[in-house]
Amino acid sequence: MTRVERWEARSEWPLTAAAFAFLVAYAVPIVDPAVSDTAQRLCAVVVWVTWGLFVVDFAARVLLADRRWRYIGHHVLDLAVVALPLLRPLRLVRLAALVSVLNRTGARQLRGKVVGYAVAGATLLVVVGALAVTQAERGHAGATITGFGDGLWWAITTITTVGYGDTYPVTATGRFVAAAVMIGGIALLGVITATLASWLVQRVDETTTAQQAATRAQVDDLAAEVRALRELLTQRGPTSDPPDSLP
Amino acid sequence: MTRVERWEARSEWPLTAAAFAFLVAYAVPIVDPAVSDTAQRLCAVVVWVTWGLFVVDFAARVLLADRRWRYIGHHVLDLAVVALPLLRPLRLVRLAALVSVLNRTGARQLRGKVVGYAVAGATLLVVVGALAVTQAERGHAGATITGFGDGLWWAITTITTVGYGDTYPVTATGRFVAAAVMIGGIALLGVITATLASWLVQRVDETTTAQQAATRAQVDDLAAEVRALRELLTQRGPTSDPPDSLP
Amino acid sequence: MTRVERWEARSEWPLTAAAFAFLVAYAVPIVDPAVSDTAQRLCAVVVWVTWGLFVVDFAARVLLADRRWRYIGHHVLDLAVVALPLLRPLRLVRLAALVSVLNRTGARQLRGKVVGYAVAGATLLVVVGALAVTQAERGHAGATITGFGDGLWWAITTITTVGYGDTYPVTATGRFVAAAVMIGGIALLGVITATLASWLVQRVDETTTAQQAATRAQVDDLAAEVRALRELLTQRGPTSDPPDSLP
Amino acid sequence: MTRVERWEARSEWPLTAAAFAFLVAYAVPIVDPAVSDTAQRLCAVVVWVTWGLFVVDFAARVLLADRRWRYIGHHVLDLAVVALPLLRPLRLVRLAALVSVLNRTGARQLRGKVVGYAVAGATLLVVVGALAVTQAERGHAGATITGFGDGLWWAITTITTVGYGDTYPVTATGRFVAAAVMIGGIALLGVITATLASWLVQRVDETTTAQQAATRAQVDDLAAEVRALRELLTQRGPTSDPPDSLP
């Protein structure tokens, strides 16, 4: 376990908590734009503080890494999430860790796990997409998404690819969010399909291996039988030899 | 078989009948809003009576259960369907039992069964979704779904994810119904895919097992041959010993 | 081969030709509504004559069947296609026979066949759907599909489930056609998926069977070896017996 | 390697470079219609020059082929791409060669390769579709796609089959481009599915073959054992014969 891995193991839960706090602070002013000034300022502070935590985490990981530039090169998305305000919602991807835990305690069967991940992933995608698109669209001329309710409705019709066209983003930022939601949905579907395919192959492999092991155990028994036969003959060899030495 | 299971086995058909009566009483005022007052009142009575049956069934199951709170915790959806008027249409899920019977008498081949379930499930989803969305939308300002025909058309374009956008829900209730129809459609697709995948694995497993059984039967024959050989040698052992005792 | 089967084998090509003639006569007045009166009348005659051929074919099959009512019960769709003017376009399903021939001469590999069937099925669905929807919609108030070009564009956006919503049916007949196109598209996808799944299973089965056959051939060789060994011992038995009869 | 194949191997990279130059020259006036006259003229020159290169390449291949008419018959799409101005964007299909190289240097695992091809194919489809539809639609009355940004947005909503209907082609050329993008997307999905299915079969085949090889090796060992036994008996045969010759 390298130093970076130790840091990551220790910082996993604090960062997930920070991501959760960020979700709340990010969501409140979007869901209810009429929230009091004090609440808005509090949310802004939480957003800044959690951002600070993410920056500290990334800096610590780079400093602890053996080959720093290479580490940054391999974690360029993490850097972008911290550095670019536009990618702020991606900090919520941290919450995927939460999903993995909720799941660990739940069903141990693969089918249950796949369903769990799919539901959690789709829900996260819909909620984050709805928040991001509402923030981008609200207040723009000609916007059809004017509140979080519209945003949620838009996210659901988009991720299911129904796309009625009663709500759709009109700003460049909103369209980027929409493309991210669509690509995220396809990626989710791809991961589920790939997991199922892997599971199919594994199940078939297990049957083949178990069946072959049974066959081989049988051949082993037979081989033992033949070996016993040989020993019988080899032992009897001398016993049967005397006639040779008769004269 | 616990007491709850015995109750469930006995109440299956009465409840399916109640669900069917509920479907008719629920559908009539939605499909034809100009139906006579008497018919409307009759339908309302049937809705209340069938609701009473569902309440009695749920109460009986809770009372018969060994660990009551745990039973409620595991059947929270059943409770919600009985307690929340908004989830009323979900009582029709009971009709799935009907589907399973229609199927039991039909094709016994898995392919036929999967097609049967898919068609029945999609039809139920479309009809119930159309009824619920028509009830939610009709009469609202700006509504594009103003009758059961529009509701059916909307449900078909939604479940196939075509989503032209000529009809779409505008009320919060209608959007909830729409989300349920979309999620139901995806769940249906997931169940069909999983069934097919299981069937693939099972078919391959059967072939592997059958082939291996044939191989093992052959190895068994060979083992019998070797055993016969051993017996031949063991029997001849004493026969061939005499030379030893020659002198 | 029963009498009905012999009739079907003989009438296959004449009926496919009739379906092709029907396609042309059905399409011409829809694609170009400004066609001359003579051409229109000619097309009407061809439609009637081909209808007559389909009626004669169905009547002949019923008369030749051993159990007539049962035959009608099993071919109720054929009856409906002949009896209901609304289902007229379904006569073109006959052209599927054409597809099967085009394919027979083409690629013999399953992958090529599946692609061939999918392309042919989708093309037939798009063209027939475009013709039927154009006929149903043209001339209606508020219709967005006013010509065959619009119909084709609508059919493509529908079968791919894109559904922009710039063109969509507004009449009840048009919506029935649309539902048929959507369901047809899903059925096509289902058939392709099922074919691929069957092919997967078959391929795996073949490998398993071939591999097991090789193993079993090896076990067979071994069994022959052991049998030879036994014969050797049995033959030598008498040879080695003399000592017994020595005294 | 025939003369044509040698030509194709040598011309692969020059033609890919030409396709890339064509992409830039084709894209610039579409992305920025306000580009200077000099740039526009330069782009036009590049388009003509690259077209010339494609013509020369096709002519050379036909001349080098053994059976020229048959070669043209088998490469009718290549001829159409060169001869028909409408199919000009298809010249960019050459860039698929670029994709194959980017991939060759990348991940060697099948999963990574499939993802790589899918991403590259979808990106090429979206960019080329956006360019072609923007060129076709811009300036037409009632057009909803008036710039490259709209074109990209339209291509993304189309290839994901969301199809809001806020942007859609209204010209015949634009609708042809749209149909090509949709069919291209379906073809891409089909290729990915087929690749995954082949990989599944191959993986299962490998396991079966490896397991059987292990079983057969074991049977081989057993056969060696039996052969040794036979030799033992055959050698002892004469040794045990003496008693015969005792008298």
Decide: helix, strand or coil at residue D119.
helix
Q: Could you give phi then psi for residue B161, rounded to 5 degrees?
A: 60, 20
Residue B182 has its nearest CB partner, among A162, A236, A246, at A162
Closest chain C C-alpha to A149 CA, distance in angstroms = 23
Give the pLDDT confidence score for residue C174 in this predicted structure.
Answer: 94
Helices (H), C32-91: 37-64, 68-74, 76-83
| Residue C175 within a domain | no
Q: What Å distances lie between residue C70 and A134, A140, B231, C67, CA to CA?
A: 61, 66, 66, 6
| More confidently predicted of A99 and D195 | D195
Average pLDDT, chain C: 84
Rounded Cα distance between B97 and B91, Å, is 12
What is the pLDDT at residue B243? 44
CA separation for the pair A82, A91 (Å, rounded): 8
User: Chain-wide mean pLDDT for chain A?
Assistant: 84
Overall average pLDDT of the B132-146 stretch: 92
Q: How many domains does chain A have?
A: 1
Q: What is the pLDDT of residues B12-38, one digit of tens each?
A: 888 888 888 988 998 999 999 899 999
pLDDT of residue D121: 84
Picking from A236-245, C107-116, D148-157, D185-194, which range would have the lowest pLDDT averaged per residue?
A236-245
Of B67, D162, D24, B77, which is closest to residue C163 (Cα–Cα)? D162
Nearest beta carbon to residue C222 from set D222, D241, D244: D222
C-chain residues near A158 (CB < 8 A): none
Per-residue DSSP letters for D21-79? Answer: HHHHHHHHHHH-TT--HHHHHHHHHHHHHHHHHHHHHHHHHHHHSSSHHHHHHHTHHHH
Half-sphere exposure of D104 (CA within 13 A, CB side): 6
pLDDT top residue among B238 and C133: C133
pLDDT in tens, D169-180: 999 999 999 999
How far apart are the C-alpha atoms of D246 and C240, rounded to whole Å?
12
Question: According to the model, what pLDDT value does residue C106 have?
Answer: 47
| CB pair distance less than 8 Å for D163 and C149 | no
Domain assignment of residue B246, yes or no? no
Cα A59 to Cα A64, A71, A142, B99, D4: the distances in Å are: 9, 11, 42, 59, 57
In a domain, A168, yes or no: no
Two structure tokens written together for A199: 């599971």
D163 chain-B contacts, CB cut-off 8 A: 163
Bigger pLDDT: B167 vs B202: B167
Alpha helix locations (H) across B84-171?
Answer: 96-104, 110-137, 148-159
Q: Which residues of B touch A200 (CB under 8 A)?
A: 197, 200-201
Question: What is the DSSP secondary-structure string of B177-215?
Answer: HHHHHHHHHHHHHHHHHHHHHHHHHHHHHHHHHHHHHHH
Is D209's CB within 8 Å of C207's CB? yes
Q: What is the pLDDT of residues D116-158, one digit of tens each?
A: 778 888 988 999 999 999 999 998 999 999 999 999 999 999 9
Nearest by Cα to C205 from B193, B200, B194: B200
- With pLDDT > 90 as the criterion, what percentage of chain C qualifies? 32
Indicate the Cα dihedral angle B72, B77, B80, B81, nearest 10°. -120
Range with the poorest average pLDDT among B2-16, B99-113, C35-49, D169-183: B99-113
Q: Do C196 and D200 touch (CB under 8 A)?
A: no
Examine residue A68 and state whether it is found in any structural domain, yes or no: yes
Neighboring chain C residues of B228 at a CB cutoff of 8 Å: 230
| Residue D158 pLDDT | 95
Question: Quick one: closest CA in B to C212, which residue?
Answer: B211
Q: Rounded to an integer, what distance in angstroms lies between the CA atom of residue C178 and that of residue C128?
A: 11
Q: Are C113 and C107 in contact (CB under 8 A)?
A: yes
Distance CA C231, CA D230 (A): 11
Tens digits of residue pLDDT in A216-238: 888 888 888 888 888 887 776 55
High-pLDDT (> 70) share of chain A, %: 88
Report how far residue C208's alpha carbon sits from residue B171's, in angstroms, rounded to the nearest whole number: 57
Chains with 3 or more CB pairs under 8 A to chain C: A, B, D
Which among B161, B164, B243 is the nearest to D161, CB-wise? B161
In whole angstroms, what is the distance from residue C33 CA to residue D132 CA?
32
CA distance C228 to chain B (A): 11
Identity of the residue in D162, D196, D212 whose CB atom sits nearest the CB atom of A163: D162
Say which residue, A146 or B81, is predicted with more confidence. A146
Q: Is residue D127 part of a domain?
A: no
Cα(B122)–Cα(B102) distance, rounded to whole angstroms? 15
Nearest to C162 by CA among B165, D123, B132, B119: B165
Decide if C133 contacts C155 (C-beta within 8 A). Answer: yes
Residue contacts between A and B (CB atoms, under 8 Å): 103
Chain C: give the shortest CA distance to residue A231, in Å. Answer: 16
HSE of C27 in the Cβ direction (CA atoms, 13 Å)?
A: 16
The three-state secondary structure class of B34 is coil
- Hey, are the CB atoms on C163 and B164 less than 8 Å from each other? yes
Query: How far apart are alpha carbons A96 and A90 in whole angstroms?
Result: 11
Which pLDDT belongs to residue C244?
Answer: 44
At B103, is the pLDDT very low, low, confident or very high (cuts 50, 70, 90)? Answer: low
Task: Choose among A182, B169, D86, D174: nearest CA to C157.
Answer: D174
pLDDT reported for residue A237: 55
Percentage of chain B exceeding pLDDT 70: 89
Check C214 against D215: CB less than 8 A apart.
Answer: no
Looking at residue D132, its pLDDT comes to 92
* Spatial CB neighbours of B201, under 8 Å, sequence gap ≥ 6: A200, A203, A204, A207
What pLDDT is recorded for position A220?
86
pLDDT given for residue D160 in this prediction? 94
Share of chain D above pLDDT 90, in %: 32
- Within 8 A of D161 by CB-CB distance, chain B residues are 161
pLDDT band, very low/low/confident/very high, at D229 (cuts 50, 70, 90): confident
- pLDDT-derived band at C114, boundaries 50, 70, 90: confident
Nearest to A126 by CA among B182, D176, B236, D24: B182
Closest chain A C-alpha to B241 CA, distance in angstroms: 7
Angstroms from C235 CA to nearest CA on chain D: 11
Candidates C161, C164, C243; nearest CB to A243 = C243
Q: Say what the pLDDT of residue C242 is.
A: 44
Residue corresponding to tokens 């749209």:
D178
Is D244–C239 a contact, with Cβ atoms under 8 angstroms apart?
yes
How many beta-carbon contacts under 8 Å exist across B and C? 101
Contact present, D144 and D150 (Cβ < 8 Å)? yes
In angstroms, the CA D18 to CA D47 distance is 9
**Dihedral sign (CA C120, C125, C127, C128):** positive
Res D227 pLDDT > 90? no
Q: What is the pLDDT of residue A236?
A: 64
For range A73-79, the mean pLDDT: 84
Find chains touching chain A: ≥3 CB pairs under 8 Å. B, C, D
Neighbours of A162 (CB within 10 A): 29
3-state helix, strand, coil in chain C (%, to 5): 85, 0, 15
Work out the pLDDT band at C192, boundaries 50, 70, 90.
confident
Q: What is the least distance, in Å, from the CA of C55 to any CA of chain A? A: 42
Q: In this predicted structure, what is the pLDDT of residue A171?
A: 94
Residue of chain B minimizing CA distance to C143: B166
Neighbours of B199 (CB within 10 A): 16
Domain of residue B39 covers: 1-93
Select from B225, D15, D83, B112 the least CA-distant residue to A225.
B225
Whether the pLDDT of residue D76 is over 70: the answer is yes
Q: What separation, in Å, do the N-terminal and C-terminal C-alpha atoms of chain C show?
A: 78
In a domain, A4, yes or no: yes
Q: What is the pLDDT of residues D83-107, one digit of tens each?
A: 887 777 777 777 766 666 555 544 4
- pLDDT confidence of residue C127: 92
**Cα angle B132-B102-B105, degrees, rounded to a multiple of 5:** 175
Considering the domain boundaries, does residue A5 fall inside one?
yes
What C18-25 contacts at long range (C-beta under 8 Å, 24+ apart), as own/partner pairs, is C18/C50, C18/C53, C18/C54, C18/C94, C19/C50, C19/C91, C19/C92, C19/C94, C19/C95, C20/C95, C20/C98, C21/C46, C21/C50, C22/C46, C22/C47, C22/C50, C22/C51, C22/C91, C22/C92, C23/C92, C23/C95, C25/C50
Q: How many CB atoms lie within 10 A of CB A46?
A: 17
Q: How far is B131 from chain A (nearest CA, A)?
A: 19
Residue C206 has pLDDT above 60, yes or no: yes
pLDDT for res D167: 94
Nearest-by-Cβ selection for C215 from D161, D219, D237: D219
- Assigned domain for B77 exists: yes
Identify the closest residue of chain D to A186 by CA–CA distance. Answer: D160
Instruction: Specify whether the backbone of A168 is left (phi greater than 0), alpha (psi in -120 to 50) or beta.
Output: beta
Q: What residues of chain B lie within 8 A of the CB of C230, using their CB?
A: 225, 228-229, 232
Q: Cβ contact (<8 Å) for B156 and C164?
A: no
**Nearest chain A CA: its distance from C133 CA (Å):** 21
| D interface test, pick of C157, C186, C240 with most D CB neighbours within 10 Å | C157
Cβ-defined contact of D186 to C160 (cutoff 8 Å):
yes
